[in-house]
């Protein structure tokens, strides 16, 4: 006889969201913050929350019945930092695939702000100065290198092709991609970087991608290149990026993610010329939670069989 699943969400859900979950499987759902939920840990079968909320060192001993974790985020590195969890039979699914549209729009907006000198125009406006902008340019006909071609990278490529850009991309294995003009495997990253006017990073954080973008990578780029990271802060060596910008080795950059968040007030990144900083919000959208829960509800319907579930994470590979 199938047992009623005890589900705990660390994020408050609306009544309609909870009703849709109940219709997808035999379950009881509570929405509580981690500290408030501690008294229920012993009964929990399924846990919902962001990767940053998942303290597996504390949770695993207190959740003997835990069978499945679904993260509202795509990144799962905090969860996978716990070796006991990695080696356990607990199923892990994430929200990969829901971030593409808002992140692609964020990236395109950043590129347009840079190419059309909109930040410079805003500074002139604040100073009440009517001045010609330095060098407005077009995206049309320029080359973008998209490093990482998962759901985010594909959506970015689609948006960039739609404004007339040439798209080169880098991924682990070569496949046919509809919005990519030239595809490189990871061994030929440098060749892709050398062609690009804009470099967009959309990689998962793994041991192989940790600080992949360092002085060596920046030296492979054009001096006119603009670098964008929306993936994970630790994919970039931030000191090397500061050096590359300060020495004008590359022309500009935009960071939405950082090795330490919130970014410390004394970080040298704040004062670097031609660096745009946003507070890890490129994926934010009013549709975010509903999109994540749609994945979860689909999986809840077939969880007893564990066959055909979406976004199952290979815990040993890291994504």
In our burial notation (b when 16+ CB lie closer than 10 A, e otherwise), range 15-49 reads: eebbebbeebbebebebeeeeebeeebeebbbbbb
* 146 CB neighbour count, 10 Å cutoff: 30
Q: Which contiguous run of DSSP H or E holds residue 76?
A: none
Locate the domains of the chain by residue range. Answer: 5-98+286-305, 100-277
Question: Minimal CA–CA distance to 60: which of 37, 44, 77?
Answer: 44
Q: Is residue 172 classed as helix, strand or coil in its secondary structure?
A: coil
pTM score above 0.85: yes
CA 233 to CA 204: how far, in whole Å? 10
Considering just the CA atoms, what is the radius of gyration of the chain in Å? 22
Residue at token pair 């802060």: 233
Q: What is the pLDDT of residue 174?
A: 86
Residues of the chain with pLDDT under 70: 1-2
**Topology of domain 5-98+286-305, CATH:** Rossmann fold (3.40.50)
User: Contact at 8 Å (CB) between 234 and 256?
Assistant: no
Catalytic residues: 232, 261, 280
Instruction: Write the DSSP assignment of 124-142 as a string of letters.
Output: HHHTT-----S----STT-
Q: What is the pLDDT of residue 311?
A: 97
CA 106 to CA 250: how far, in whole Å? 21
Q: CB within 8 A of 119, min separation 6: which ones?
A: 113, 276
CA 81 to CA 76: how far, in whole Å? 9
Domains 5-98+286-305 and 100-277 belong to one CATH topology:
yes
Q: What is the pLDDT of residue 1?
A: 45
Q: What angle do CA 319, 100, 308 make, to 5 degrees?
A: 50
**Topology of domain 100-277, CATH:** Rossmann fold (3.40.50)
Q: Which tens digits make up the pLDDT trace of 99-148?
A: 999 999 999 999 999 999 999 999 999 999 999 999 999 999 999 999 99
Q: CB within 8 A of 216, min separation 6: which ones?
A: none
- DSSP letter (8 states) at residue 200: E
């Amino acid at each position: 006889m199938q047992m009623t699943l005890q589900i705990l969400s660390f994020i408050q859900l609306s009544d309609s969201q909870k009703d849709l979950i109940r219709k997808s499987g035999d379950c009881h759902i509570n929405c509580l913050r981690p500290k408030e939920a501690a008294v229920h840990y012993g009964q929990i079968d399924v846990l919902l929350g962001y990767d940053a909320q998942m303290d597996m060192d504390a949770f695993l001993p207190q959740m003997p019945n835990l069978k499945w974790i679904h993260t509202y985020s795509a990144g799962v590195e905090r969860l996978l930092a716990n070796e006991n969890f990695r080696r356990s039979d607990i199923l892990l699914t994430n929200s990969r695939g829901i971030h593409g549209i808002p992140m692609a729009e964020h990236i395109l907006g950043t590129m347009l702000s840079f190419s059309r000198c909109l930040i410079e125009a805003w500074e002139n406006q604040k100073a009440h100065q009517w001045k010609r902008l330095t060098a407005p340019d077009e995206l049309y006909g320029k080359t973008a290198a998209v490093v990482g071609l998962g759901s985010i990278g594909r959506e970015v490529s689609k948006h960039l092709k739609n404004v007339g850009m040439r798209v080169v991309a880098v991924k682990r294995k070569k496949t046919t991609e509809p919005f990519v003009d030239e595809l490189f495997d990871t061994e030929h990253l440098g060749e892709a970087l050398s062609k690009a006017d804009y470099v967009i990073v959309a990689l998962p954080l793994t041991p192989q991608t940790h600080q992949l973008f360092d002085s060596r990578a920046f030296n492979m780029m054009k001096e006119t290149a603009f670098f964008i990271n929306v993936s994970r802060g630790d994919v970039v060596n931030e000191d090397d990026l500061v050096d590359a910008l300060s020495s004008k080795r590359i022309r500009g950059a935009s960071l939405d993610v950082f090795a330490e968040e919130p970014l410390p007030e004394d970080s040298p990144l704040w004062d670097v010329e031609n660096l745009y900083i946003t507070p890890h919000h490129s994926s934010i959208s009013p549709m975010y939670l509903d999109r994540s829960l749609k994945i979860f509800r689909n999986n809840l319907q077939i969880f007893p069989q564990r066959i055909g579930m979406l976004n199952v994470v290979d815990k040993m590979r890291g994504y």
